[in-house]
Amino acid sequence: MRTILALTLTLTTAICAAAPRARDLGVPFDGVPGLLNAITDVAGVTVGQVTLIEDLEGGSRVRTGVTAILPRGRDSLDLHAFGGWFALNGAGELTGTTWLEESGQLEGPVLLTNTHSVGIVHDATIAWRVRQGQADGTGYWWSSAVVGETWDGHLNDINGFHVRARHVDQALEQAATGPVEEGNVGAGTGTICYEFKCGIGTSSRRVVLDGREHIVGVLVQANNGLRDGLSIAGVPVGRHLREDRVYSQHNESAGETGSIIIVIATDAPLLPHQLKRLAKRAALGLARTGSTADNGSGDIFIAFSTANATALSGASVAIAAVLPNSKLDGLFRATAQATEEAIVNAMVAARDMRGTKGRYAKALPHADLVALLDHYRRLVK
């Protein structure tokens, strides 16, 4: 029998007013963000998160969760979205990508969790879909759920299999528009990046094409990188902040063994092959923070467009709007910019965490970051 010392279920998309984001600290970024500077700036996109924090007898601790992204909110049950994906390095998992590649369509939500909970989250997502809607256009219940993961086993009792179907249901049911909570929440509860405590982060960019504004939004589950490589706004932060490293303090030649899942949303009318091109540009934003996608790192990106709903409504002949390839450069830049900021937001929002077997991860110290930005004349005052 176990004694539950603390249990927190966070079912929210609201940002704690006291938690600063990277821009609040004076970190400079390129590009113009949307109103919320979040993936939910793309109209219709909803996010729901369940955070599991539980202390068990014997020193094991639960530090994990579920994050759900619905491209069209509840309409995602019945209305697909054009999508594409890209693996910069494939030491990880994003289910459903075989059919996504073949069909060019994302047929429901994207779920994020820890590595050893992909199966339960996959099954629970399909079960939730069956309970909510009608059979597909063929008259059959068929689903290829998309579930991504990163390994949170340094802090989380990952082999305790603490994520349950009810947590998936809660994340999907609670998904909403508006601000998105960042840091130690949802699928990012136990994650670590650049050997600092990390988690969920998000950002967005406005792009004006021929007088019309489009939005690119990004959400990351960041669990990647080693301290030496960390760069924030061009400042080599990792070379200065040497204390409390999680991995490389034990092995200076260690390679990246973490991962990152990056979800990109846009309202720009793009076809699947263009969305794959968009997904590839997330690698540029990731690289700007200092990752090199080493052999043991799972760096997997997925992009979708909320445009062309009519073309995906099941008509016998569908006509889709599409931007010409020559107009994509601004969207490419926006993806790289929003990815970079989302990763830094995940770090800034995170807080110190002690996990299973007494392991810990320290959060990025805000005052030290501000001092370094000021020293390198990069601080926005």
Contact between 289 and 336 (Cβ < 8 Å):
no
Catalytic residue, chosen from 55, 291, 299, 305, is 299
> Is residue 78 annotated as part of the catalytic site, yes or no?
no
**203 an active-site residue?**
no
Q: What distance lies between CA 118 and its chain's CA centroid?
A: 15
SS3 state at 196: strand
Calpha distance 181→289 (Å, rounded):
21
Quickly list DSSP for 284-346. HHHHHTT----TT-EEEEEEEE---TGGGS--SS-------GGG-HHHHHHHHHHHHHHHHHH
Sign of the CA dihedral running 77, 78, 81, 82: positive
- Of 135, 123, 197, the residue nearest 363 (C-alpha): 197
| Residue whose C-alpha is closest to residue 70's, from 127, 16, 129 | 129
- Directed axis angle between helix 272-288 and helix 329-349, to 10°? 50
Question: Contact at 8 Å (CB) between 338 and 284?
Answer: no
Whether 103 is catalytic is: no
Residue 304 identity: F
The residue annotated as part of the active site, out of 259, 291, 294, 305, is 259
Q: Are 238 and 229 in contact (CB under 8 A)?
A: yes
Q: Which residues are catalytic?
A: 259, 297, 299
